[in-house]
Amino acid sequence: MDAALVAGLRAAEPVCFVNPGRRPMAEVRDTLPVTLAGIEAARDRFDRFAPLLARLFPELGPAEGVVESPLLSVPGLARRLHEAGLPETDRVYLAADHALPVVGSVKARGGLHAVLCVAERLALAEGLLAGPGDDCRRLAEPAAKAFFAGQTLSVGSTGNLGLSIGVFGRGLGFAVVVHMSAEAKAWKKDRLRAAGAVVVEHAGDYAAACAVARAEAAGNDRLHFIDDENSVDLFTGYGVAGLRLPAKLAAAGLSVSPETPLCLYLPCGVGGAPGGIALGGRLALGEAALCFTVEPTTAPAVLLGLATGRHAGIDARELGLTGPTVADGLAVTRPSALACACLEHVLDGALTVTDARMLRLVGEAHAADGLRLEPSAAAALAGPLAVRRAGFPARLGRPAVHLLWATGGSLLPDAVFAELLTQAGACACS
């Protein structure tokens, strides 16, 4: 790694990394461990199960079971960015995954897809479904619920993934065990318990929680571990969001191209959700999409994996970075091997942001456009100026559309969000 980059990382200062491995999509699309066909299959599975989801979750009724969020115009944030130096010709939008129905985070797609994969596989083997084309609403009937009650889903999580799998899994009738790392917030544990999931609290970090969950599931055919570090089912579920971008851009009246690129800013922990979205987006938009991850300065896992070429073989603690951060969903010191393998040639760059900056951005998003974001989601807001100032690809001298991917926050309890705003104000004054 470049000496200046290493020094900045060790000092837990904001840095930008330009990915030298980035390649045109046409060159690498057939060499990646996750394929377009795999993401299209996930999209088709969502479509097949939409009638069941509409029946099981009232929040999904108005959308007929489709789990999706809009692109939002954010004039207040755009104005602030333009005043701070973003070119006036650039447009700014928000991908409102923070308001996704049922679980209120980007993890809704990946977590739900992983749950559906387990449910479909078991239902077909048990004869609850006659085939992939059978009416999936049969899985809401008592016989299916009774069968799923004897099966357990397990996951290790810092918060939002566990919430997604817990709520969706319980909705289908599964028993669910969520191993929560030390960073997980109390309100997320409370929501999981209210849904009927078992929450196992760990004093260690995310990797430690996953290791325990993985070991418990070994050799138990009734315990289904959903592995955030290695699951293709999770990854392809996230990838559907990228495939849907062209239609969402059209609905928002936005046109992008290699000359007017779409810049995606993706908050990043282990790398699954941003990796899937980035891959889906580049498969759908090709060279019109530029993708950037945003990580805490204390836990730059994916940045390190790509910058060193060691992928999951490096841990941020090797640089003296211990991982604690106000962004609980991003508190990961070692990246996913699957995510790094997919992002190596797909990602344009990675940047880091301090906890104080994330808290200030929570306050700015609320003041500017009334947004209710978690600190991890607010990290995306640091992207446009950081990328412009770092001299990322020369074509960014041209007008661009900046898409801030809001990953969570709409379900924040009032008291918790009020405390975040207080912290944001304190950071703004410091």
What are the pLDDT digits (tens) for 202-228?
887 777 888 888 888 888 899 999 988
Label each residue of 344-375 as H, E or C: CCCCCEEEEECHHHHHHHHHHHHHHHCCCCCH
Residue 430 has pLDDT above 60, yes or no: no
Note the pLDDT of residue 72. 97
What are the pLDDT digits (tens) for 111-130?
999 999 999 999 999 999 99
Same fold yes or no, 3-103+235-429 and 107-233: yes
Inter-residue contact 207 to 334 (CB < 8 Å) = yes
Whether domain 107-233 has CATH 2.50.20.10: the reply is: no
Residue 269 tokens read as 């922990």
Inter-residue contact 289 to 261 (CB < 8 Å) = yes
What are the pLDDT digits (tens) for 358-400?
999 999 999 999 999 999 999 999 999 999 888 775 666 778 9
| Mean pLDDT, rounded, of the chain | 94
CATH number, span 3-103+235-429:
3.40.50.1100
Q: How many CB atoms are located within 10 Å of the residue 313 CB?
A: 12
What are the pLDDT digits (tens) for 262-281?
999 999 999 999 999 999 99
Going from N- to C-terminal start, the domains of the chain cover: 3-103+235-429, 107-233
Q: Percent of the chain, pLDDT > 90?
A: 83
Residue 182 has pLDDT above 80, yes or no: no
Residue 33 has pLDDT above 80, yes or no: yes
pTM: 0.96
Residue 183 has pLDDT above 90, yes or no: no
Note the pLDDT of residue 396. 67
